[in-house]
Amino acid sequence: MKAFLILEDGTVFSGTSIGSKRDMISEIVFNTSMTGYLEVLTDPSYAGQAVVMTYPLIGNYGITPDMESKKAWPDGYIVRELSRMPSNFRSAGSIQDFLEKQDIPGIAGVDTRALTKILREKGTMNAMITTNESYDLDEIIPKLKAYTIGDVVSEVTCGETYILEGSGPKVALMDFGAKNNIARSLNRRGCEVTVYPADTPAETIIQSNPDGIMLSNGPGDPAACVSVIKEIKKLYNTNIPIFAICLGHQLMALANGGKTYKLKYGHRGGNHPVKDLSNNRVYISSQNHGYAVDGSSMDPAVAEEAFVNVNDGTNEGLSYTGKNIFTVQFHPEACPGPQDSGYLFDRFMDMMKGAK
């Protein structure tokens, strides 16, 4: 069946429908990862967005157990070519079947190189995927321009508190759309991890007397999380060690007078170099974010830049002065290096031990 990708600037790509056949309107973003398409599909940070995979062949190892959450989150999926014969000893099915079961509309056969060039030059924009060959651009374009992502953190967070048992330090993980591997990375180091919904009051976290607090990744505009930011400020005012990733990094900055801004087309992929300013070493990182912290907006008496992006110089992490708090924009729980930045979890473990 034919399908069409219609951008808000009027550009139209044609291809073949994959997954669900329903119409979809969303923000279109691109990811440069060569592998890990299942982790991309199940990353809650993609809620409210449709993903373009720049690597031309997707699905060659099928659907494996490597899911970062219980379901897929993107609104849509755009690829150059889907593998016709997935091959992997762990494969439990094809990506086509997975998209259908997850009710995600998609389109294959798109010139993703040309599409990515448009998004790089003009910036992230909204688009529609439709199988309606009689589409009317005059009707569709206003709808695309009016689309906003909205409050997606409330959609992706867990419904209730749950615990991953461990014999070591007790960590409170605030779930703003947490990838499973964040809790697993802590649990593998012996931590007992209690995962809390995003709207949990700070008092509840503090009264549980954790050894450390983890602020997770998540989707959407960080500045829209007004009530969450107020609670994070209360957590900041304690002496509990805190480690924050991605959205959590942005929310902690906003809670302490910093500013965030939307990037032209974001950082999404498994090959982004970041420099640790404490040792001047560069690490290959996995990233998925459309907003960044303005490092210059932070009061040096409150926080100092700890990491920067080697490609464009944007802020990639902060170290908070006089506090056992550090935050990063990238994903140390992912494995692009493959273990380049896993040491940050060890740093968090040392902070919790030192705070006792």
Q: Which domains does the chain have, with CATH numbers?
A: 2-146 (3.50.30.20), 153-355 (3.40.50.880)
Q: Tell whether the torsion through CA atoms of 206, 318, 167 and 179 is positive or negative.
A: positive
pLDDT in tens, 126-163: 999 999 999 999 999 999 999 999 899 999 999 999 99
Residue of 192, 231, 316, 333 marked catalytic = 333
Residue 90 has pLDDT above 80, yes or no: yes
Cα dist from 322 to 64, 125, 296, whole Å: 44, 41, 19
Q: Which whole number is the average pLDDT over 210-217?
A: 98
Whole-number pLDDT of residue 84: 85
**Rounded distance between C-alpha atoms, residue 74 and residue 42, angstroms:** 8
Residue 341 has pLDDT above 90, yes or no: no
Q: Which whole number is the average pLDDT over 212-240?
A: 97
74 band by pLDDT with thresholds 50, 70 and 90: very high
Q: Which whole number is the average pLDDT over 254-275?
A: 96
Residue of 39, 246, 267, 316 marked catalytic = 246
- 331 included as an active-site residue: yes
Q: Which tokens go with 14?
A: 């044609």
Whole-number pLDDT of residue 11: 97
- Residue ranges of the binding site for L-glutamine: 45, 218, 220, 247, 250, 288, 290-291
Residue 235 has pLDDT above 80, yes or no: yes
Whole-number pLDDT of residue 150: 86
Residue 337 has pLDDT above 60, yes or no: no
Whole-number pLDDT of residue 215: 98
- 246 included as an active-site residue: yes
Q: Which residue has the tokens 């473990």?
A: 349
**Rounded distance between C-alpha atoms, residue 120 and residue 263, angstroms:** 11
**Rounded distance between C-alpha atoms, residue 237 and residue 176, angstroms:** 20
Whole-number pLDDT of residue 333: 86
Whole-number pLDDT of residue 128: 98
DSSP calls for 133-176: TT--HHHHHHHHHH------HHHHS-SS-EEE--SS-EEEEEES
**Rounded distance between C-alpha atoms, residue 13 and residue 5, angstroms:** 5
- Residue ranges of the binding site: 45, 218, 220, 247, 250, 288, 290-291
pLDDT in tens, 147-206: 999 899 999 999 999 999 999 999 999 999 999 999 999 999 999 999 999 999 999 999
Q: Which whole number is the average pLDDT over 279-300?
A: 95
- CA–chain centroid gap for 161, Å, is 21
Q: Which residue has the tokens 């976290």?
A: 205
Contact 75, 51 (CB under 8 A): no
3-state secondary structure of 46: helix
Whole-number pLDDT of residue 5: 98
* Phi and psi, residue 103, nearest 5°: 60, 40
Whole-number pLDDT of residue 334: 73
280 band by pLDDT with thresholds 50, 70 and 90: very high
pLDDT in tens, 17-58: 999 999 999 999 999 999 999 999 999 999 999 999 999 999
Residue of 249, 267, 289, 331 marked catalytic = 331
